[in-house]
């Protein structure tokens, strides 16, 4: 059926279930969806998600009951139900120490729909020796979910219960943009992916690899990574715990299991072998992939690390200028070295670098930066701006600065409302000169925690910011 | 436009400077104020020639006491317009609320009561060492004299309690030191008001002329690198959070000592007896509420994680829950000179607390919906993962079965441990320091820090002085080095 004649209900359903079909797989149509249409669709989609999930996800129901939110008439009605990032790590850390994954599954069950909660509760996780074991087991026991975790700088990992369909929808949008498709019948191009990190792992951005391969590449063989193994979440967690214990002065109380020590050794071995892996990785690039169109996505520091290593080997302009380079904006508290973008482009030879603003908690929200430097919001994640002090919504007019929050419409078995720790400025009214009608972020994206940490106010009570500093400090001592 | 902004003058040894003003502050809704451009006065801030300390040695300790007591009288809040103005302005900059700021200002004059000063100095340094050379004879016949001299010190004061500026000035006076006080951005006015009162009282007095108060932006490295030099300053006394202390350490070099009053937090331990009677529970709840709520938990002395020997079975957890409710109620009833609803509840902490609220499997959150403070009762013997963030009258009660488990309450950052009942202290006071605790106090008295006591496991007063020895020896009384036999 022609999209123009489709009802709002039907279009809403497409936005929620198959967003690329909404624009008939047209990259141009996606970028030029009229503003009024985006608004109408998003409100309608939000109402639908609210109706579907409000009473079915226990933590949402508890919050909605407490806040007295029973209906959504406008976008701001959902603001009191937005989750802080802390929700995804509100389990007691000792459950992980004691490998009490059954309890963790029970806790996770309150973040998802009852069908999934039941499967989580039924999964036999009693024999899991650690996180790697548990994630692997969960993939088998609850195949509709692809759980991931965040890096856990505070020592506690967040667990994100994303569904397979969420991942797939997000990757279909990515495919539409990377391939620049103009319809459902776009031919499969011969695309390769370069990934300067691990083949697999349960850390959120590594977890996406499987879905990117499925969406973008003709075959697994077209995926070329630096380390052909799995990034151990147990080792990552140990690192986070050590940093946290250093900061608290409780390192002597840290208990480390023999299984974990063995994993640490495996990790050390891999570290020792890294130069060989790297050599092989670069050899493959130069011998097999030179001049080809590739897709490279990763955090800015991964891309930059690869570029500096490549440039040091005398490699420049390795791939086709039409290659698709994408990276997530934001330095996450690290000062980005000057000229990193140039170095990445010089090494790869790609004509452009597509930066995006995204976060693990809202996979449908990859907001790409246009040639005017503005991050345009993805239609699949409704942006909100909140007062940083009160968390009350700021007006959706003019130019506003506040805490970014999103409702991820792709989330179908968990709750999509999420408050970030980022300060952004949104231009709600003025259209962007790039011609994309969507609203966009202007100016820098800053983390509130970095902002406050930069203050010279002093109290004698230790603050969380000071602890993060302590971690950085002690990490350098360790090295 | 700028005329409407308040001015924080610079005071350099009795001289009040209001020229070359620049605007500072004003971030995050804070008060913007004007202060002299510190770069223009850099060379005047330090006491260039240390022999200029000599005028302080014409004073006897009694003269210093007389001065301090007179200053104390003039720091009577009701009739000191400098204090009144500073207090009004501090409402806008302080991390605490107006009634707490005002109560602190009203208490300033009590710090300078004669007997209190004598007691504190006698206990923490020994007055005789400040008054002159203290002789003693050593085993080998040497006559040894020891005296504590003042030093040229830079004080980086914490901004969470106005009285800390007065403590600094008092310590500086009794030690016969020269102080440069770097005013904190969240309390830029208190030290100034005290120094202005000193200038009005005795403009040419040596004690007046050895206090300098200035504000500069912490982290102005070009400025600090030139000021923080051994030829200008011998000691830096720094209170503060990790970031600011780490920042200061970059300037430490031979000849420049850091006296660090590190970032700290505090804990409480409640023994089994607490839960054996209704009366004990009620008493402990009021005392604990005081330790949590004092200064709206902005002090390092305030209780944050509380280990309670209530037992971890259902019955024990239920008791702790009931107790948590009592603590919360008592906290709301604290006098507004000690505690109020916080000025601004930390949004990061609120996010953590609200997340626990969504699931009552492991934690019970009492209160906190309106940013007034909260008591989080753990249902398992484990503190919340964000315990280091606890602030704005938010405490975490953790049930335990045995006293072995309470050691988790204490780590390298623990300053004060409040304990109830009193008898339990004797069991714990020899063990807790091994784990990091630095001050043990009867529950409810955490906020009553004493100048006469050590602080943060050091003796800052002794450290702030220069301890000089004079050995008197002659070959008749003491074996002489030059008379040692040669060896083959």
Task: Specify the CATH number for the domain of residue B351.
Answer: 3.40.309.10
Residue A312 has pLDDT above 70, yes or no: yes
pLDDT of residue A388: 87
Number of separate domains in chain B: 2
B405 with B354, same domain: the answer is yes
Higher-confidence residue: A479 or B426?
A: B426
B233 with B318, same domain: the answer is no
Smallest CA-to-CA distance from B357 within B318, B384, B389 is with: B384
Confidence grade of residue A474 (pLDDT, cut at 50, 70, 90): very low
End-to-end distance of chain A based on CA atoms, in angstroms?
62
pLDDT per residue as tens digits for the range B408-455:
888 888 999 999 999 999 999 999 999 989 999 999 999 999 999 999
Q: What are phi and psi of A206, to 5 degrees?
A: -75, -35
Could you say which of B263, B285, B313 is where a domain stops? B263
Confidence grade of residue A333 (pLDDT, cut at 50, 70, 90): low
Smallest CA-to-CA distance from A320 within A285, A354, A355 is with: A285
Any idea which of A129-143, A375-389, B22-36, B49-63 has the lowest mean pLDDT? Answer: B22-36
Mean pLDDT of A405-430: 95
Query: Cβ of B358 and A469 within 8 Å?
Result: no
Distance CA A380, CA A176 (A): 14
Mean pLDDT of B34-51: 93
pLDDT per residue as tens digits for the range B156-209:
998 888 999 999 999 999 999 999 999 988 899 999 999 999 999 999 999 999
Peptide bond before residue B63 is cis, with ω within 30 degrees of 0: no
Containing B368, the helix (H) or strand (E) segment is none
In this complex, the residue of A59, A92, A469 whose CB is nearest that of residue B358 is A59
pLDDT of residue A468: 39
B303 with B215, same domain: the answer is no
Nearest CA in chain B to A246: B412
- For the beta carbon of residue A283, count every other beta carbon within 10 angstroms: 11
A249 touches chain B (CB under 8 A): yes
B256 with B382, same domain: the answer is no
Confidence grade of residue A473 (pLDDT, cut at 50, 70, 90): very low
Q: Is residue B463 included in any domain, yes or no?
A: no
Q: Is residue B240 included in any domain, yes or no?
A: yes
How far, CA to CA in Å, does A72 sit from each of A39, A335, A392, A417, B46? 14, 41, 16, 13, 64
| Nearest-CA distance B348 → chain A (Å) | 9
The encoded tokens of residue A441 equal: 């972020």
CB B418 within 8 A of CB B441: yes
Distance CA B392, CA B373 (A): 6
Residue B26 has pLDDT above 80, yes or no: no
CB B169 within 8 A of CB B244: no
Nearest CA in chain B to A63: B358
Q: Of B242, B394, B399, which to mutate for an interface test with A (greatest number of A Cβ within 10 Å)? A: B242
Q: Which residues pair with B266 in a beta bridge?
A: B303
Residue A8 has pLDDT above 50, yes or no: yes
Question: What's the whole-number average pLDDT of chain A?
Answer: 88
Peptide bond before residue A76 is cis, with ω within 30 degrees of 0: no
A92 touches chain B (CB under 8 A): yes
- For the beta carbon of residue A103, count every other beta carbon within 10 angstroms: 17
B378 with B431, same domain: the answer is yes
Distance CA B261, CA B85 (A): 29
CB A444 within 8 A of CB A107: no
| Nearest-CA distance B476 → chain A (Å) | 54
pLDDT of residue B2: 45
How far, CA to CA in Å, does B256 sit from each of B219, B223, B230, B455? 18, 17, 5, 21
Smallest CA-to-CA distance from A241 within A132, A135, A153, A333 is with: A153
The encoded tokens of residue A5 equal: 């004649």
pLDDT of residue A478: 38
B281 with B257, same domain: the answer is no
Smallest CA-to-CA distance from B237 within B302, B150, B295 is with: B150
Most confident of A304-308, A458-462, B23-27, B304-308: B304-308
Residue A275 has pLDDT above 90, yes or no: no
Mean pLDDT of B230-254: 88
A254 touches chain B (CB under 8 A): no
Please provide the CATH number assigned to the domain covering A161-231+273-360. Answer: 3.40.50
Distance CA A289, CA A347 (A): 13
B190 with B283, same domain: the answer is no
Q: Is residue B238 included in any domain, yes or no?
A: yes
Residue A463 has pLDDT above 60, yes or no: no
A66 three-state secondary structure? helix
Q: Is residue B284 included in any domain, yes or no?
A: yes
Spell out which residues of chain B touch residue A91, defining contact as CB-CB under 8 Å: 362
B252 with B310, same domain: the answer is no
The encoded tokens of residue B336 equal: 């507004």
pLDDT of residue A390: 85
Spell out which residues of chain A touch residue B365, defining contact as CB-CB under 8 Å: none
pLDDT per residue as tens digits for the range B267-311:
999 999 999 999 999 999 999 999 999 999 999 999 999 999 999
B246 with B316, same domain: the answer is no
Q: What are phi and psi of B207, to 5 degrees?
A: -65, -35
Could you tell me the pTM of the whole model? 0.88
Spell out which residues of chain A touch residue B355, defining contact as CB-CB under 8 Å: 83-84, 86-87, 89-90
Domain region containing B80: 10-263
Confidence grade of residue B23 (pLDDT, cut at 50, 70, 90): very high
Q: Which of residues 113-152 of A touch B (CB under 8 A)?
A: none
A461 touches chain B (CB under 8 A): yes
Spell out which residues of chain A touch residue B261, defining contact as CB-CB under 8 Å: 460
Q: What are phi and psi of A306, to 5 degrees?
A: -65, -45
pLDDT of residue A479: 34
Burial B455-481 (b: 16+ CB within 10 A, else e): bbeebbbbbbbbeeeeeebeeeeeeee
Query: Cβ of B242 and A462 within 8 Å?
Result: yes
Spell out which residues of chain A touch residue B95, defining contact as CB-CB under 8 Å: 457, 459
B230 with B324, same domain: the answer is no
Nearest CA in chain A to B30: A457
Rg of chain B over CA atoms, in angstroms? 25
In this complex, the residue of A86, A92, A247 whose CB is nearest that of residue B382 is A92
CB B9 within 8 A of CB B18: yes
Distance CA B303, CA A111 (A): 33
Is the interface score ipTM higher than 0.85? no
Confidence grade of residue B27 (pLDDT, cut at 50, 70, 90): low
Higher-confidence residue: A338 or B393?
A: B393
Nearest CA in chain A to B28: A452
Q: Which of residues 215-244 of A touch B (CB under 8 A)?
A: none
Question: What's the whole-number average pLDDT of chain B?
Answer: 94
B71 with B178, same domain: the answer is yes
Q: Is residue B285 included in any domain, yes or no?
A: yes
Query: Cβ of A93 and B385 within 8 Å?
Result: yes
For residue B394, give the DSSP letter.
Answer: E
Q: Name the region of B296 (left: φ>0; alpha: ψ -120 to 50; beta: rest).
A: left
Query: Cβ of A466 and B241 within 8 Å?
Result: yes
Mean pLDDT of A393-402: 97
Confidence grade of residue B246 (pLDDT, cut at 50, 70, 90): confident
pLDDT of residue A332: 52
Q: Which residues pair with B439 in a beta bridge?
A: B416
CB B288 within 8 A of CB B418: yes
B277 three-state secondary structure? coil
pLDDT per residue as tens digits for the range A222-245:
999 998 889 888 888 887 777 777
Percent of chain B scoring above 90 in pLDDT: 83
Burial (CB count within 10 angstroms: exposed 0-12, middle 13-18, buried 19+), residue B29? exposed
pLDDT per residue as tens digits for the range B75-98:
999 999 999 999 999 999 999 999
Percent of chain B scoring above 70 in pLDDT: 99
B316 with B411, same domain: the answer is yes
Spatial CB neighbours of B425, under 8 Å, sequence gap ≥ 6: B419, B440, B442
Nearest CA in chain B to A403: B347
pLDDT of residue A460: 42
Handedness of CA A168, A174, A177, A179 (dihedral sign): negative
Mean pLDDT of B379-400: 94
Spell out which residues of chain A touch residue B351, defining contact as CB-CB under 8 Å: 84-86, 419
Percent of chain A scoring above 90 in pLDDT: 66
Query: Cβ of A87 and B265 within 8 Å?
Result: no
Confidence grade of residue B220 (pLDDT, cut at 50, 70, 90): confident
| Nearest-CA distance B31 → chain A (Å) | 13
């Amino acid at each position: 059926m022609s999209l123009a004649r489709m009802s709002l209900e039907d279009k809403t359903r497409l936005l929620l279930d198959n967003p690329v079909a909404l624009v008939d797989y047209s990259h141009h149509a996606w970028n030029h969806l009229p503003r009024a249409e985006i608004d109408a669709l998003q409100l309608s989609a939000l109402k639908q998600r609210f109706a579907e999930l409000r009473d079915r996800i226990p933590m949402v129901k508890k919050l909605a009951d407490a806040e007295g939110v029973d209906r959504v008439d406008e976008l701001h009605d959902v603001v009191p139900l937005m989750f802080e990032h802390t929700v995804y790590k509100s389990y007691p850390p000792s459950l992980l120490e004691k490998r009490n994954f059954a309890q963790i599954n029970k806790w996770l069950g309150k973040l998802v729909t009852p069908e999934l909660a039941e499967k989580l509760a039924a999964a036999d996780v009693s024999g899991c020796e650690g996180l790697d074991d548990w994630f692997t087991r969960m993939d088998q026991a609850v195949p509709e979910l692809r759980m991931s975790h965040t890096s856990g700088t505070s020592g506690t990992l967040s667990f994100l219960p994303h569904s397979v369909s969420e991942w797939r929808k997000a990757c279909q949008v990515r495919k539409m943009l990377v391939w620049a498709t103009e319809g459902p019948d776009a031919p499969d191009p011969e695309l390769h992916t370069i990934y300067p990190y691990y083949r697999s792992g349960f850390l959120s951005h590594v977890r996406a690899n499987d879905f990117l391969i499925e969406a973008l590449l003709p075959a697994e063989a077209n995926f070329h990574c630096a380390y052909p193994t799995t990034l151990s979440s147990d080792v990552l967690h140990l690192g986070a715990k050590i940093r946290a214990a250093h900061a608290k002065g409780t390192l002597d109380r840290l208990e480390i299991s023999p299984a974990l020590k063995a994993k640490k050794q495996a990790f050390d071995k891999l570290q020792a072998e890294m130069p060989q892996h790297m050599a092989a990785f670069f050899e493959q690039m130069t011998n097999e992939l030179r001049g080809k169109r590739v897709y490279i996505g990763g955090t800015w520091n991964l891309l930059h690390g690869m570029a500096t290593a490549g440039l040091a080997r005398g490699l420049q302009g390795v791939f086709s200028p039409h290659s698709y380079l994408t990276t997530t904006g934001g330095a996450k508290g690290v000062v980005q070295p000057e000229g990193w973008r140039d170095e990445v482009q010089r090494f790869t030879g790609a004509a452009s670098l597509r930066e995006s603003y995204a976060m693990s908690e809202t996979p449908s929200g990859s907001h790409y930066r246009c040639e005017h430097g503005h991050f345009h919001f993805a239609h699949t994640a409704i942006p909100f701006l909140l007062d940083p002090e009160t968390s009350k919504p700021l007006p959706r007019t003019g130019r506003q600065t506040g805490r970014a929050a999103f409702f991820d419409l792709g989330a179908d078995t968990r709750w999509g409302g999420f408050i970030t720790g980022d300060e952004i400025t949104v231009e709600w009214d003025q259209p962007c000169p790039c011609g994309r009608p969507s609203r966009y972020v202007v100016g820098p994206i800053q983390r509130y925690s970095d902002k406050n940490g930069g203050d010279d106010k002093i109290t004698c009570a230790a603050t969380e910011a000071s602890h993060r500093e302590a971690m950085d400090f002690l990490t350098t001592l360790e090295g | 436009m700028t005329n409407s902004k308040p001015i924080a003058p610079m005071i350099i040894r009795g001289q009040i400077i209001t020229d070359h003003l620049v605007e500072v502050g004003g971030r995050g809704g804070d008060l913007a104020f004007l202060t002299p451009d510190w770069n223009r006065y850099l060379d005047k801030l330090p006491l260039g020639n240390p022999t200029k300390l000599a005028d302080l040695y014409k004073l006897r300790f009694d003269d210093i006491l007389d001065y301090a007591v007179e200053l104390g009288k003039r720091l009577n809040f009701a009739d000191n317009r400098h204090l009144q103005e500073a207090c009004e302005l501090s409402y806008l900059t302080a991390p605490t609320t107006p009634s707490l700021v005002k109560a602190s200002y009203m208490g300033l004059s009590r710090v300078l009561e004669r007997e209190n000063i004598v007691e504190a100095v006698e206990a923490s340094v020994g007055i005789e060492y400040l008054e002159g050379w203290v002789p003693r004879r050593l085993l080998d016949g040497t006559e040894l004299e020891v005296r504590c001299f003042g030093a040229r010190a830079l004080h980086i004061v914490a901004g969470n309690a106005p009285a800390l500026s007065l403590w600094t000035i008092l310590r500086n006076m009794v030690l016969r030191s020269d102080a440069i006080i770097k005013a904190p951005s969240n309390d830029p006015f208190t030290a100034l008001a005290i120094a202005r009162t000193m200038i009005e009282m005795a403009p040419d007095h040596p004690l007046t002329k050895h206090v300098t108060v200035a504000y500069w932006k912490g982290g102005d490295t070009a400025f600090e690198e030139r000021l923080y030099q051994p030829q200008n300053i011998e000691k830096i006394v720094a209170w503060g959070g990790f970031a600011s202390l780490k920042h200061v350490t970059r300037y430490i070099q031979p000849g420049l000592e850091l006296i660090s009053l590190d970032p700290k937090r505090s804990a409480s331990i409640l023994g089994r007896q607490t839960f054996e009677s209704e009366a004990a529970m009620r008493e402990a709840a009021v005392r604990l509420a005081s330790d949590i709520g004092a200064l709206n938990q902005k002090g390092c002395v305030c209780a944050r994680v509380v280990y309670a020997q209530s037992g971890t079975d259902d019955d024990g957890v239920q008791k702790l829950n009931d107790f948590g409710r009592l603590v919360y109620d008592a906290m709301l009833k604290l006098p507004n000179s000690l505690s109020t609803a916080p000025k601004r509840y930390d949004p990061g902490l609120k996010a953590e607390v609200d997340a626990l609220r969504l699931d009552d499997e492991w934690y019970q959150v009492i209160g906190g919906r309106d940013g007034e403070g909260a008591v989080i009762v753990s249902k398992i013997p484990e503190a919340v993962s964000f315990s280091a963030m606890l602030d704005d009258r938010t405490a975490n009660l953790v049930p335990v079965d045995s006293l072995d488990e309470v050691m988790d309450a204490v780590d390298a950052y623990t300053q004060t441990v409040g304990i109830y009942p009193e008898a339990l202290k004797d069991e714990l006071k020899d063990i807790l320091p091994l784990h990091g605790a630095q001050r043990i106090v009867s529950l409810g008295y955490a906020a009553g820090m004493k100048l006469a006591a050590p602080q943060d496991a050091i003796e800052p007063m002794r450290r702030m002085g220069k301890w000089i020895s004079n050995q008197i020896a002659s070959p008749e009384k003491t074996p002489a080095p030059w008379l040692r036999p040669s060896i083959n």
